[in-house]
Amino acid sequence: MSARTVVITGIGVVSALGVGKETFWKNVIAGQNGVHKIEQFDPSGCTSHIAAEVKDFNPEDFMDRKEVRRRDKNIQFAVGAAKLALQDSGLELANEDTSRIGVIIGSGIGGIHTFEVNHSTCVEKGPSRVSPFFIPMIISNMASGVVGIELGLKGVNYCVVSACATGTHALAAAADAIRAGRADVVFSGGTEAAVCEISVAGFCSLHALSTRNDEPEKASRPFDKERDGFVLGEGAAVLTLESLEHAQARNAHIYAILAGSGATCDAHHITAPDPEGKGAENAMRLAIADAGLKPEDIDYINAHGTSTPLGDPAEIKAIKNLFGEHAYKLAVSSTKSMLGHALGATGAIETAICALALQDGIIPPTINYEYPDPECDLDIVPNVARKQDIKTALNNSFGFGGQNAVVVLKKYEC
């Protein structure tokens, strides 16, 4: 392996299934469900009343109380996930050249909680009552910026914004920076805190969300014939990415190799996927080639699988078109069945899942699979996790605007 091989050495997660890698992974492989009735506001005026909310996160565990008040929830999540990733990696920043350590963390929507609150304040109490921290709390790059400030990291630092593909695009950008020699280590991923009234109302107006309000635990059902829309989630995942040479020099634990990435555009519609899945197919093809692999080398796909009537069959079609007969030998699961769709954070959360699946030889399930859909007839690992040694994993993320991002991970073998 060359010095430009990129490896994952730390995992930090804030999610509806727990805070921290251990709790999160335990609940994922147990097929736990993080979807419940929304608690952050009264959702009765919306058609969808459910979400996968983060319940066990205390921002004061990760930052000063004064700073908590000055940071939108998506920034708080990012700081928590980044500090967990740092701790998990065992990286001693005092011994590092921090100008060679970067941060690339994206958010699809940014500080929409703060926007909602301050807009109401402006209308009801006047412009002078808007928080002086309003702008730095809402802009999407501030998650990366604040993590850099909190950890004292002076290398490459920016954000990626590409809706539901954000977290995966961010990881690809971070890997590119390491491969090109512009950084030795990058803390990268995605963060989102969009469970608020204006956000939910907007997605409801698009008819994008599930309205299975009487059975929230069964609402997110990717590839199931009775799916009726996605369930909004929230949270963050940050991965410590570094060059293999750097990781080996400090004897770091390595979860997996981030071996390749691909990015395309459907050029089709602002919200609907290309029904033939061509953009998704091409993104997967590019990522596999970038990893130096062939389609038949892939063992597992963590699917975008949002539980929408249009999106799921388009993704399955893309997989069939690319993989041919091998598509029926793949394990293809959607962990959004448990975690909901955390928008800009979801690709990073799912890449963390792929890394843990490779390390532990456990493929997470697609829960809530009850009614087979003949259009989605691949092996979706229904309802129960599977113990299976896998060597390669692919993560799909497809965003509004037709923006597609895919990463390929390989098992690390000394």
Active-site positions? 164, 304, 341
Distance CA 167, CA 68 (A): 23
- 338 CB-near residues (< 8 Å, 6+ apart): 16, 17, 27, 28, 31, 32, 33, 34, 35, 52, 220, 364, 367
φ, ψ at 283 (rounded to 5°): -65, -40
392-399/300-302 β-pairing: parallel
Q: What angle do CA 311, 316, 322 make, to 5 degrees?
A: 125
Residue 196 · residue 202 · CB < 8 Å: no
